[in-house]
Amino acid sequence: MSVVRVENLCLSYPTTSQPVEALRGITFSVAAGERVAIVGRSGGGKSSLLRVLSGLLAPSAGSVELAGFRIAAGQTAPRAMYEKVGLVFQNYGLVPQLSAIQNVLCGRLYHQPSAASMVRFPTDERSRAIELLDDLGLGERIHTRSSRLSGGEQQRVAIARLLHQSPQVMLLDEPIASLDVHWAGRAIDRLAGSGTRDHQRAVIMVLHDLNMAREFADRVLVMHHGELVFDGPPEQGCRVLEALAIDEPTDGALGPTELAPASAARTTDDEARPATPAPLPIDGMWGKGSFYVLLAILIAGLYIWSAMGVDFSVSRIFGNFDHAANFLSRMLPPDFSVSANVARSLLETVQMALIGTTLAAIVSLPIATLAARNISARPFQVVARLVLNLLRTIPSIIWGLFFVAIVGLGPFPGILALTFYAAGYLGKFYYEGIESIDPRPLQALRTVGATPLQRFRFGVFPQVLPLMLGYTLYMLEYNVRAASILGVVGAGGIGFYLYTYINNFQYDRAATALLFLLAVVTVLDAVSSRVRARLMS
Ligand SMILES: Nc1ncnc2c1ncn2[C@@H]1O[C@H](COP(=O)(O)OP(=O)(O)OP(=O)(O)O)[C@@H](O)[C@H]1O
């Protein structure tokens, strides 16, 4: 019985110039229990075929049927298909911040949709994951972050994830490319012997190593220039491929048993020639020098125009030097008799900043998630960004006035003001962070049948968490400064004392308040820069 049926499959990649026809009229089927190797020269269409088979790319024409799920032109796979179909990516598709065991457990996401598994997987799932990792030589690296594993170790983790997923159809794109002979043999053995006969499982594997293809496969498919040029016994298929390599030797050195890596194959005569840089469009008109002179004049003009617009005058600073000296001299020596009051209000300022920043982080995370282009739908993005823009546009002191009018004087309106103001900034930082994550682990999580929430929990959140903590700490630091001004409108914090002292010309007391504030900001700055540096490493 066929578990994979491909009919007249075509795939074109749209590009800015001409679409690239990666697959043309592919037809074949794979029976349950069969082991198939896809071989071919670099650029032949092997990875493209696997991407369509796994439902990640929609066929341009024709259809694919996998384990009872039919994917026609323009369609991608439904989530339910990934109970039966799994994939090992050429780039492994691991979440770099998760440990080896967490990545392997991700293979079970379709089968573990409960809220509890968002925190911890059941013991039997964990035991099986440990067993698989141990068997592939990673018993000592179970809790190591996958970004700290070598290429070969990551590849073994990806294989263990597929084995744990245990689908009816296994698709693998060069799964042993980074493994040494020992581990390649072991991996192939586990994949091929993972009950394919007993459980009627089909394994389809892209391989560059023809010896491995001969050893592993019942059948070989040879892809060439997007077409399936051979479908039959491994020995014959390998000979077809070797003949193709001799017929078209320009792709680089192809040995009799192993094909050249993609990078070598893509070198052409054109690339080999030394490149002459294209002239800048401006070169022909006036030359580069004149362009930069004109640019400098324009920038200087912009500054002069701005300075005139705001009545900027250096002479006004030096002309009133006496006043400045007088002002500063009245600050010295600082009057430390107000230290107790200042310290108390400063503590209140820090408490306001801490609560305000935390609330802002909680409020802004869901809004940022809706605003991020890579994980949210367009209408949500527009509304969420509008909300964040509005929160950011209004200065914290105006928010302070607003909340004093609503809830009265004291630190509470100050906290609300900081929450709203900081949420606007944190939301923007967070969604920009989310948009910058690596999309490949998310794609891999799709092929284990993860729900959108699971994809966020295991794919987005771990990647963006260090960045988010870093931004939140920075915001906390900033909010201590912002909180110090809110006292001016009666919204708590040290600002009240600063404002009162300056209004009453008690500059020596104001100096004490400023010194205390400086000490807190300096300590906070040092701590937060250290923590942020650690988080980002
Ligand atoms: N995203 C893309 N956009 C445009 N063209 C693409 C894209 N991905 C692949 N191609 C082109 O499609 C063709 C088939 O590529 P594919 O990656 O499927 O080949 P392959 O046989 O897997 O190669 P390799 O062995 O080097 O991995 C190539 O000409 C490639 O340049």
Cα end-to-end span (Å), the chain: 52
Instruction: Report the atom number in ligand 1 closest to the C-alpha of 226.
Output: 14
Q: Which of 291, 313, 331 is the last residue of a domain?
A: 331
- The encoded tokens of residue 291 equal 């362009």
Q: What are phi and psi of 61, to 5 degrees?
A: -155, 165
Mutate to test the pocket of ligand 1, among 11, 26, 46 (most ligand atoms within 8 A of CB): 46
Q: Find the 226 Cα to ligand 1 centroid distance in Å.
A: 9
Nearest CA to ligand 1 atom 31: 43
Q: Find the 228 Cα to ligand 1 centroid distance in Å.
A: 15
Q: How much is the pLDDT for 284?
A: 55
One domain, residues 367 and 421: yes
| Spatial CB neighbours of 231, under 8 Å, sequence gap ≥ 6 | 28, 219, 220, 221, 222, 237
Cα-Cα-Cα-Cα dihedral of 271, 50, 70, 84, to 10°?
-160
CA angle 60, 64, 41 (to 5 degrees): 75
Instruction: Report the atom number in ligand 1 closest to the C-alpha of 206.
Output: 22
One domain, residues 139 and 42: no
Instruction: Report the atom number in ligand 1 closest to the C-alpha of 15.
Output: 4
In DSSP terms, 6 is beta-bridged to: 28, 64
- The encoded tokens of residue 308 equal 């005139």
Q: Decide if 14 is inside a domain.
A: yes
CATH number of the domain within which 24 lies: 3.40.50.300
Q: Decide if 185 is inside a domain.
A: no
One domain, residues 210 and 66: yes
Q: What are phi and psi of 112, to 5 degrees?
A: -125, 70
Q: Decide if 181 is inside a domain.
A: no
- The encoded tokens of residue 84 equal 């039966």
Whether the upstream peptide bond of residue 333 has omega within 30° of 0, thus cis, is yes
One domain, residues 388 and 448: yes
Q: How much is the pLDDT for 293?
A: 92
Q: Decide if 450 is inside a domain.
A: yes
**Count of C-beta atoms within a 10 Å radius of residue 180:** 9
Mutate to test the pocket of ligand 1, among 47, 208, 223, 254 (most ligand atoms within 8 A of CB): 47
Q: Decide if 186 is inside a domain.
A: no
Q: How much is the pLDDT for 94?
A: 95
Mutate to test the pocket of ligand 1, among 16, 18, 20 (most ligand atoms within 8 A of CB): 20
* DSSP track, 133-182: HHHTT-GGGTTSBGGGS-HHHHHHHHHHHHHHH--SEEEEESTTTT--HH
Q: Decide if 24 is inside a domain.
A: yes
One domain, residues 400 and 386: yes
The predicted-structure confidence for 362-409, as pLDDT tens digits, reads as follows 999 999 999 999 989 999 999 999 999 999 999 989 999 999 999 999
Instruction: Report the atom number in ligand 1 closest to the C-alpha of 47.
Output: 22
The predicted-structure confidence for 231-283, as pLDDT tens digits, reads as follows 999 999 888 888 887 766 554 434 444 443 333 333 334 444 444 455 555 55
Q: How much is the pLDDT for 249?
A: 57
Pocket of ligand 1 (CB under 6 A): 13, 15, 20, 22, 40, 42-48, 262
Q: Find the 189 Cα to ligand 1 centroid distance in Å.
A: 28
One domain, residues 465 and 492: yes
Instruction: Report the atom number in ligand 1 closest to the C-alpha of 265.
Output: 26
Nearest to 325 by CA among 335, 313, 334, 317: 317
Q: Find the 21 Cα to ligand 1 centroid distance in Å.
A: 9
Quote ipTM for the complex.
0.96
What is the rounded CA–CA span in Å between residue 33 and residue 518? 72
Instruction: Report the atom number in ligand 1 closest to the C-alpha of 223.
Output: 21
One domain, residues 311 and 430: no
Instruction: Report the atom number in ligand 1 closest to the C-alpha of 23.
Output: 14
219: confidence class by pLDDT, cuts 50, 70, 90: very high
How does DSSP classify residue 355?
Answer: H
19: confidence class by pLDDT, cuts 50, 70, 90: confident
What is the rounded CA–CA span in Å between residue 428 and residue 365? 10
* DSSP track, 224-257: ETTEEEEEE-HHHHHHHHHHHHHH-GGG----SS
Q: Which of 266, 290, 316 is the last residue of a domain?
A: 266
Q: Decide if 192 is inside a domain.
A: no
One domain, residues 348 and 414: yes
Structural domain count of the chain: 4
Q: What does the H/E/C string look like for 329-346?
A: HHHCCCCHHHHHHHHHHH
Number of H helices, E strands in the chain: 21, 10
Q: Decide if 184 is inside a domain.
A: no
The predicted-structure confidence for 456-512, as pLDDT tens digits, reads as follows 999 999 999 988 998 999 899 889 988 888 888 888 888 888 889 999 999 999 999
Output the CA–CA distances (angstroms, integers) from residue 480 to 280, 304, 462, 484, 495, in the order listed. 49, 35, 28, 6, 11
Q: Is the pLDDT of residue 535 over 60?
A: yes
What is the rounded CA–CA span in Å between residue 292 and residue 288? 6
Q: What are the helix (H) ranges across 200-320?
A: 210-216, 234-247, 262-265, 269-272, 288-309, 314-319
Q: Is 247 exposed, middle or buried (0-12, 13-18, 19+ CB in 10 A)?
A: exposed
Q: Compare 324 and 423 and report the one with higher pLDDT.
A: 423
One domain, residues 215 and 359: no
Whole-number mean pLDDT of the chain?
87
Nearest CA to ligand 1 atom 11: 22
Q: Compare 430 and 190 and report the one with higher pLDDT.
A: 430
* DSSP track, 92-139: ----TTSBHHHHHHHTTGGG--SSGGGT---HHHHHHHHHHHHHTT-G
521: confidence class by pLDDT, cuts 50, 70, 90: confident
Q: Find the 74 Cα to ligand 1 centroid distance in Å.
A: 19
Structural domain containing residue 153: 85-166
What is the rounded CA–CA span in Å between residue 450 and residue 159? 18
In DSSP terms, 204 is beta-bridged to: 36, 171
Q: Find the 359 Cα to ligand 1 centroid distance in Å.
A: 47
Q: How much is the pLDDT for 192?
A: 78
Mutate to test the pocket of ligand 1, among 11, 12, 13 (most ligand atoms within 8 A of CB): 13
CATH number of the domain within which 364 lies: 1.10.3720.10
Nearest CA to ligand 1 atom 28: 43
Q: How much is the pLDDT for 286?
A: 62
Q: Find the 44 Cα to ligand 1 centroid distance in Å.
A: 7
Mean pLDDT across 338-354: 92
One domain, residues 502 and 364: yes
Question: What is residue 280's three-state secondary structure?
Answer: coil
One domain, residues 221 and 242: yes
Instruction: Report the atom number in ligand 1 closest to the C-alpha of 51.
Output: 18
Q: Find the 58 Cα to ligand 1 centroid distance in Å.
A: 15
Nearest CA to ligand 1 atom 4: 13
Q: Find the 18 Cα to ligand 1 centroid distance in Å.
A: 14
One domain, residues 325 and 375: no
